[in-house]
Every structure is written in C-alpha cells, then in structure tokens.
Amino acid sequence: MEKLLVTGVAGGVGTRLRKLMKGVYPSIRWSDIRKPDDLAADEEFIAADLSQLAEVEKIVAGVEGIVHLGGYSVEGPWETILQANIVGCYNVFEAAYRAGVKRVVFASSNHAMGFYPRDKRIGINMPVRPDSRYGVSKTFGEAIGALYADKHGLRVTCLRIGNVGDVPLDQRRLAIWLKPEDLLALIRIGLEHPDIRYEIFYGASDNADSWWDNSNARRFGYHPQGNGGEFLHQAMAAQAELPPDPIGDRYQGGPFCSEEYDAGRAG
C-alpha cells in the first residue's frame, strides 16, 4: 500500500491509530468531518462529510486502500445513524469502486451481534443480532462490503471491534477488549494479506473469557498480544462500582441492549 486513506481519525480509535500507523505505510491521508487538534505539520488531512458523495470522492482519489473508521460511534437517533453510518458507508464503498481502490478495511462492531447471550460462544457465521440502530448500521456495512467484494472484486475485511483501550474497563470488556496494537495487526492483515477477498474478523485480543471464536482471523496469521485476563482484578473492582443492569448484564452488547428495551411488554 503506497497510499492509504483512514477515515474517522478525530475519534478515540482514530487518534490511537494515527500514532501507531505513522511510518507503517509510505503515505497516509487522514480524514474526518473535523480536523484533529493535534495534527502534525507533516500529516495530510482532508475534511469530509461522509454523507456527501462528492466529498468522499475527493478524499478517496489516488489511494490504494481505505481503513473506514468514520461515522457515528454510539447509539443515536435514526436520522443521525442513517446519514453518518449508512449513507456514509455506501458512499465510501461506491467512491472506492469508482476510484479503483484495491482494499477496504471496515470498522464493524460487536454491536452487530450484541443480542447473543454472554454464555454463548459465537463465530463469524452466526446470524447477525444487532442490539441498536448503531448495530444495524454495522450489519449494513458488512453487507455492502460483501456486495462490492462479490460484484466488483474489491477486497474487503470487516472487523467486529470489541472495545479498544489501554486496559479493559469492566467485566464485559474483559471479554471484548482489543489492545490498540492488536487492532493495527488486524488492519494490516486486511490491507496486505494476499488471500483476502471478503472476510469477517472479531476485533478482540487473546482474552481468556472471550465470547467469540476468532479462528478465522488466526487462519490469516493473527497473533494477538493483549490478554484482558491480566487486568481481571482492576476490571472487576470497576464493575463493582456500576449499578446492576438485568438486561445488559445478560447480553454481549451490554447497555446497548438495555437502552430502550421493552420486550417484556410483548405477548
């Protein structure tokens, strides 16, 4: 990859990746709807609203690969999710296709699968069970990625990211924690592995209590370095400070499942 585009770089994950990816690829163009405050003089940045195709075509021009982190990163009103995560995601894939981009790594989310119970181990071939409008938008991104891979030959990798951070912050995140360096390793597989066509990986480190079978990522050479179990005591101490959540504590998506939950009223 001589020229790479990374969207969503003003967010928390994007900010971490800017530091980790510097020097990994010869040329990286960073983009977001707003300019990061700590942008260095030698970093190329072009602002873009992903819901506007013409703006997306501008940032995609001349790149070989895209890491698509951009969008609305939490639950929100439908119109917000629609424009940022669904229209915006379509625009990224369509602009990539028009520009002859070779590969896209799409930041999907664990919230595409959030309504699986925590006592069920799931792989990549299980049906999606989104826990929110945000989760629905991530299932759309995986589907549009599959369409452009199968119909147009774009090489696409979807990362169902857990929680990126220095340490897991509570009991749920012991299972889904993703060390930033492990995220970079997954991205590099998506951008560089010769056998990638269309793949889904779980974005998680080597966590002892993981709910996910990530053997597909390991098949492509993923060797995670982080292990959430190393932070068990501090994560459980933080968990003890949280109020009980009878719904969220049952499902993998946590509070994304309990927010607006009223299924008990049915039937």
Distance in angstroms (rounded) separating the CA atoms of residues 182 and 166:
11
In the residue annotation, 251 being an active-site residue is answered as no
The one catalytic residue among 72, 90, 134, 222? 134
Select from 19, 18, 106 the least CA-distant residue to 68.
Answer: 106
Q: What contacts 165, CB < 8 A, 6 or more positions away?
A: 173, 177, 178, 180
Rounded to an integer, what is the distance from CA 232 to the centroid of its chain?
24
Q: How many Cα neighbours within 13 Å face the side chain of 13?
A: 26
Residues 215, 195, 157, 188: what is their CA dihedral angle, to the nearest 10 degrees?
Answer: 90
Number of neighbours of residue 62 by Cβ within 10 angstroms: 13
Site of tokens 């020097």: 23
Hey, which residues are catalytic here?
134
